[in-house]
């Protein structure tokens, strides 16, 4: 059964943005004691309406500790779960991987969706990481952290 998890920042919410300009939202999610499994999703942060996602970075720890890991992830939003990454072979390394749009394409199995950024949101949404293929041996510790850079405001 797939589980829905939320970062500490997502549960706190994001304030409405009224003045146009750039701003950064951060997130942090502690991997549960059971690890992450097939279909599990982590809502990393809320995306305010009338904003464009310009850039992001995700510090992703190992999600699959098997000798031949199988985990893949999707990164997207409520409307398109693979808007930014589709079945990316990420979270397989024993060392954390920092993901940014500029480096994902160079990572084997990164599966970055070319041309995905910038993406403008007319309505509020969420940035969501989803387990696309189950890990062989789920990792039961570590924290997914990161940030997203936005441009926007309700006056736009």
63-80 pLDDT per residue, tens: 999 889 999 899 999 999
> All domains of the chain, ordered by start, with CATH?
4-10+21-152 (2.60.120)
pTM of the model: 0.84
Q: Which pLDDT score is estimated for 106?
A: 45
Phi and psi angles of residue 89, each rounded to the nearest 5 degrees, phi first: -85, 65
Q: What phi and psi values does residue 36 have, to the nearest 5 degrees?
A: -110, 140
Bridging pattern class, strands 4-6 and 97-99: unpaired
> Which residues, other chains included, contact 135 with Cβ-Cβ below 8 Å and sequence gap of 6+?
35, 36, 37, 63, 64, 65, 66, 69, 70, 71, 91
The answer to whether 64 and 81 have CB atoms below 8 angstroms apart is no
The reported pLDDT for the residue numbered 102 is 60
Retrieve residue 52's tokens: 């464009």
The answer to whether 135 touches 71, Cβ cutoff 8 Å, is yes
- The parts of the chain modelled with pLDDT lower than 70 are 1, 9-19, 95-96, 100-112, 114, 153-156
Query: In the prediction, which pLDDT does 144 show?
Result: 93
Radius of gyration of the chain (CA): 15
Q: Which of 58, 57, 47 is nearest to 120 (CA)?
A: 47
pLDDT of residue 91: 83
Token look-up 């004691």 returns 33
């Amino acid at each position: 059964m797939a589980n829905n998890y939320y970062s500490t920042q997502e549960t706190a919410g994001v304030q409405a943005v009224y003045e146009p300009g750039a701003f950064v939202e951060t997130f942090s999610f502690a991997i549960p004691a059971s690890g992450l499994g097939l279909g599990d999703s982590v809502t990393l942060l809320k995306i305010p309406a009338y904003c464009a996602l310009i850039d992001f970075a995700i510090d992703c720890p190992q999600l699959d500790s098997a000798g031949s890991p199988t985990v893949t992830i999707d990164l997207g939003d409520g409307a398109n779960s693979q808007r930014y990454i589709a079945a990316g072979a990420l979270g397989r390394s024993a060392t954390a991987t920092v993901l940014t749009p500029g480096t994902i394409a160079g990572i084997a199995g990164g599966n970055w969706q070319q041309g995905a950024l910038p993406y403008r949101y007319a309505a509020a949404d969420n940035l969501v990481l989803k387990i696309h293929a189950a890990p062989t041996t789920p990792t039961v510790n570590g924290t997914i952290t990161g940030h997203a850079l936005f441009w926007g405001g309700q006056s736009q």
